[in-house]
Amino acid sequence: METNRITAPLPGPPSPDREIHLRDYIRVLQKRKMTIFTFLAITFFTVVIVTFSSTPLYTASTQVLIEKNNGPGGLEGTRPYNYWDPDFLTTQFEIIRSDNVARRVVEQLHLDTRYKEYFLEDLEEESSPLASFMQTIQGFLSGLFGSSDEAVGNGDGSGEDALMATVAPLTDAELIAQMIRNNLSVTPITNTKTVYIYYTNKYPAMAKMVVDAVVQAYKDEMLEIKHSTSNYALQWMTAKADEERKKLEKSELALQRYKREHDLVTVENKLAVYPQRLAEFSKQLSDAQAEQKEYEALYAKIKATGEDYKNIETIPVFADSKVLQNLRDKVYSVEQKVKELSKKYGYKHPIMIQAKSERDLLLKEQRFEIKRIIEATKNAYELAKSREKNLKKLLAESKAGMLDINERFMQYTIMKREVDMNRAIYDNLTSSIKTANVTEQSQDVKIWVIEKAEVPMYPSSPRKRRNLALGLLLGLFGGTGLAFFVEYLDNTVKTAEELERHFQLTVLGSVEEIKVKGETIESYLVHNPLSPLAESYRLIRSGLLLSSPDHPPRSLLVTSMAPKEGKTATTANLARILAQSDKKVLIIDCDMRRPRMHALFSQSNSYGLSNYLTGDRHQSLVQIIPDEQLSLITAGAIPPNPAELLNSDGMQQLLDQMLDDYDFVLLDSPPIQSVTDSLTLSRLVDGTVLVVRSGKTTYDTLDNGMKKLREVNAHLLGFVLNGFSKSGGDSGYYGYYDYYSKDS
């Protein structure tokens, strides 16, 4: 019997992604809510532990005016301009936080002797393992949230100090100075020249005392920098001026000696004459070359005419000759006379002979004059060539002389420039020494305390409410971001809606994942015929029966992309549902590599499809499944060449024969990605059903498999989404099932 196989083509490539709606984001949040809650809980409790285990710290502050001292207005030439320096305040901040200022504070307040215990006890606490762990956590969170305006040190140079500590042990004064630097911060006030200096300590009085001492130590440091810089600058400029004076004298002597040795007294006059001569020679050479080209062309034209005296007289030099013009007139008159006499006398008449002799004599004179002009033209051409050659030689000699005088003058210019530069450096150094002596006692920076420090009454750290709020926000937003990141990396099929949108192909139904202990999807359907799971297979059956406009497909291939996606269970359950409609249903296990259908129905696999296709037909092939109104053809013994057997004429004949006896024939085949068996069988059946495992089958795998099916022109009836979970967010396929589950 010939089957009316439906040959509709596969759907084309997937359409572009649709616009993402708010419900898609809500679905992701619902699906990944445990990830969000876990991240939120870990983050929040970490912040709580760090916050409530931290020691309260107090911050004292003082406001200071820092600006440049531009000097008195009456001092001419010292600081004529009050220019803007963008790096001035930044430099002052670094000086305030420098190690020198911190050591001055230690010396002024005797912190390494009188108040030693207030600082070194902090080092003992920081050395404990718990404190080290908490400090690491706190540093990480501080890097994320940023430091407060009231009290945080920048920790500059801590890596350098740690390296030095491995080389030599630090003294108490150095340790305390390092601690002061770590807890000291400077904050400028926008659009002003004032800054706030903060110092943080767990003792309020100590915080106030140190911040006042920092201002005084900063003033002392600036005075010392000014004094040291001025002394060093004067010493350096004096030594440098003496060195530049010697260089100036040496360069002047060298310049004079060079002028004398190379006779450069009149070099500037020579430089003026040479260009004029070069220009004159260049003009003469151009004229000579033009004249030479003109004579060359004329002589070539004369040589080209040869002995043709009639044509040669058309050349301008011959046509313009007065002698030739007179001879041409005489020749013309004699020829007219010969013509008139020829009318009266014969050729041998004496008068005719005399007239012809006169004409021949004139023609001879004409040729002689032409030859003379030719020789004159040749001589003029030779003279033009010689003149051009001489002018080229004179021009080359002039250029060589010009280059020589230029080289000497260039060296003279270099040496003179060196003398001028040395003189300028020496004059500037002399002027700077005088200026430095005048301004040595002035101060470059003005420092004025605007607001003195007070003893802080409330701790500045930790700020518990802010930390808890930030911990909550960080946990919430971080968990949300992590959820979307995990969702982005998940490329598996999750919902029927996504599957239909991606491939533009119908999802026949979704099968929920069985979570009942001790039950499998095959046994659950038998034991619970009115469950939502059974209704899902009935929905798939309805979709198959309505998938073709003329008649439902009778031969079906059930396959998947990869193993363990549920194709065998889907085949068995779909056959059960079809058999409940009083239809004769046959299952053929075409998976001859890893057959499983015989074990599912507790049947023998000693004789099956492989035996039949290899010619062994001595016994009955079809096995009747008791109590289920089903028939089964098992896979049989595993052959070495399953693909060749399934592609044989015997397989087509068997399928046609079974369709005569059964209403529906379902073929269970190996996965598409593993072997080509399913592609071969897809050309023998009316339609193919593709089983997709939710959360396991990836879109990349599906795209590859669909491409293979499209190449063999297989007819896909639709997808079956297997192992679906209601928590995935797509409950559209389950509202109908829930209705029946309540009744059951």
Q: Per-residue DSSP letters for 144-212?
A: HH---SSS----TTHHHHHHHHHHSPPPHHHHHHHHHHHTEEEEEPTTSSEEEEEEEESSHHHHHHHHH
| pLDDT one-digit tens code per residue, 592-648 | 889 998 888 888 888 999 999 988 887 888 898 877 788 999 999 889 888 899 988
Q: How many whole angstroms separate alpha carbon 121 and alpha carbon 220?
A: 29
pLDDT at res. 655: 92
pLDDT at res. 327: 74
Q: Which token pair is 38? A: 């876990």
Q: Which residues pair with 184 in a beta bridge?
A: 199
pLDDT at res. 314: 66
Q: Which token pair is 359? A: 């004409």
Q: Where are the beta strands (DSSP E) in 464-539?
A: 507-512
Given a contact cutoff of 8 angstroms between Cβ atoms, the answer to whether 59 and 456 are in contact is yes
Given a contact cutoff of 8 angstroms between Cβ atoms, the answer to whether 709 and 669 are in contact is no
Q: What share of the chain is helix, strand, coil (3-state, %, to 5)?
A: 60, 10, 30
Residue 662, C-beta contacts closer than 8 angstroms, at least 6 positions apart: 584, 585, 586, 631
Q: Which token pair is 330? A: 């005489």
User: Measured over all CA atoms, what is the biggest interatomic distance in the chain, rounded to whole angstroms?
Assistant: 161
pLDDT at res. 519: 66
Q: How many whole angstroms separate alpha carbon 583 and alpha carbon 577?
A: 10
pLDDT at res. 147: 45
Q: Which token pair is 458? A: 């409330």
Given a contact cutoff of 8 angstroms between Cβ atoms, the answer to whether 673 and 560 are in contact is no
Low-confidence ranges of the chain (pLDDT < 50): 1-16, 73-81, 130, 147-157, 163-165, 729-744
Block residue for tokens 């530049």: 244
Q: Which token pair is 320? A: 């313009």
Q: How far is CA 574 from CA 518, 569, 578, 725, in A?
A: 22, 8, 6, 20
Q: How many whole angstroms separate alpha carbon 702 and alpha carbon 242?
A: 87
pLDDT at res. 137: 63
Half-sphere exposure of 556 (CA within 13 A, CB side): 34
Report long-range pairs for 484-490 (Cβ below 8 Å, ≥24 apart): 484/28, 484/32, 486/32, 486/35, 487/28, 487/31, 487/32
Q: How many whole angstroms separate alpha carbon 739 and alpha carbon 203?
A: 70
Q: How many whole angstroms separate alpha carbon 201 and alpha carbon 209?
A: 10
For residue 625, what is the enclosing H or E element? strand 623-625
Complete domains list, the chain, with CATH: 22-54+462-490 (no CATH), 58-132+143-233+445-460 (no CATH), 496-737 (3.40.50.300)
pLDDT at res. 726: 64
CA end-to-end span of the chain: 43
